[in-house]
Amino acid sequence: MNSHFCTRLLLIALGMLAISAAAHAQVGVAVSITIAPPELPVYEQPLCPGDGYIWTPGYWAWGDDGYYWVPGTWVLAPEVGFFWTPGYWAWGGSGFVFYDGYWGPVVGFYGGINYGYGYFGHGYEGGRWDHGHFFYNRTVNNVNVTQIHNVYNTTVVNNTTVTRVSYNGGNGGINARPTSQEEAAAHEKHIPPVAAQTQHIQAARARPDLRVSENHGKPPIAATPKPAALSDRAVVPAKEGARYNPPAPARPESNPARPGNAIHPNELPPISRSAPSNTGNPKADQKYQQEQEKLNAKQEQEHQKLQQKQDQEHQQMEQQKANDARKQQMEQQHQQQTQQMEQRHAQEQQKLQQRQQPPHENPPHENPSSPSKEKH
């Protein structure tokens, strides 16, 4: 993946780490993240605070000076029948890209990451909706049955390798690809993180002790009973830290500050040609370059088409003299459309590289043994 294309994706990804896709934009400096996120720490799940709350696992986010931990927390589902699809990191070819989580009727792809507590790589084993109520699987959730009666017990058989690796693809990453059902889920009705989750991320980002540079992979607040409740008595510290290798001092590749969440395609840097491949096989290199140029042209055409569509909708709003609420709703839809397109383009680029690169470029990585799947 060329550096401009990767940076364009990272601008979207970094904004999604700190902001709801339906709300505020944040200005920041985009860097080429070549440092893998740390492994997932081990922690206990706080007690579920009440009916309708769904567990959202903790993860490493990228801040101004490196990774910081966003504690796992219970979040009230925004709609009956909706589940949470966690966000995840993935290797994009020359840097790590973050795909934001979302709410929807079906759990989509989250990188094959084993977050624990029902999120064991694919789908969700922590509960189900039945007649407007969420029923909790007690085998993977911490629920007080004297307060919450809609529970059941189903043993989860996890046949995948238990690992604490927190990213997909690349050297040492999780080797998982979305199923057809998971790919379809990304295109079905879903909504971005709710306001409480945005506040939770902002509160975590403001805590110096949640930065990996200070906690060395073992955050003092690994999980909270509710979003942004970082001072609650029921907060849970990490039982075991993540493997963390501090990076050597280096000059980051940066771009001027700009909104991290692009609303329209024309706010993104243009797609540029990638550097020629040099694998030692001229025919393979030529084929890769042709495929790359074809993909760039296709994605540029999609950018232009989406921009034209959004411009027409802007004109219609002006002609109809729409109020601010309708305009804001339209802008939120445009932002979501742009981000979905960028995520799709990142997946297309990743698939192209995986198809063209020789197998030896992604050697297998042995992961150390880790605690049981329910203690992440």
Helix (H, G, I), strand (E, B) or coil at 191: strand
C-alpha count within 13 angstroms, C-beta hemisphere, residue 149: 0
Distance CA 340, CA 336 (A): 6
The answer to whether the beta carbons of residues 105 and 81 sit under 8 Å apart is yes
Nearest residue to 345 via CA among 105, 9, 42: 9
Rounded Cα–Cα distance for residues 69 and 302 (Å): 35
CB 87 within 8 A of CB 96: no
Residue 375 gets which letter from DSSP?
A: G
Helix 195-205 × helix 3-18 angle, to 10°: 100
At 185-228, the pLDDT tens digits run: 888 888 999 999 999 999 999 999 999 999 999 999 999 999 99
Both tokens assigned to 368? 């150390």
Question: In whole angstroms, what is the distance from residue 228 CA to residue 209 CA?
Answer: 15
| CA–CA separation, 245 and 222 (whole Å) | 19
What three-state secondary structure class fits 91?
strand
167-168 and 88-91 strand pairing:
parallel
Question: Tens digit of pLDDT for each residue in 116-148?
Answer: 999 999 999 999 999 999 999 999 999 999 999
Six-digit token pair at 322? Answer: 């729409």
**Distance in angstroms (rounded) separating the CA atoms of residues 357 and 189:** 35
Distance set, CA 118 to CA 85, 249, 311 (Å): 11, 38, 42
pLDDT at 60: 96
The CA distance from 197 to 72, in Å, is 10
Positions in the chain short of pLDDT 50:
1-31, 248-260, 272-273, 360-375
- H/E run at residue 67: strand 66-70
Domain definitions of the chain by residue range: 3-248+363-375, 287-361
Residue 375 is predicted with a pLDDT of 44
DSSP 4-38: HHHHHHHHHHHHHHHS-TTS---EE--B---SPPP
Residue 347 to residue 339: CA distance in whole angstroms: 12
Distance CA 233, CA 237 (A): 11
Is the full-model pTM beyond 0.85? Answer: no
Q: Report the alpha-carbon distance of residue 219 to residue 326 in Å, rounded.
A: 42
CB 54 within 8 A of CB 84: yes
Can you read off the two tokens belonging to residue 49? 């605070």
Cβ–Cβ under 8 Å, residues 119 and 334: no
CA distances from residue 2 to 101, 201, 272, 296, 314 in whole angstroms, order as listed: 25, 30, 7, 11, 32
Cα separation, 152 vs 139, in Å, equals 8
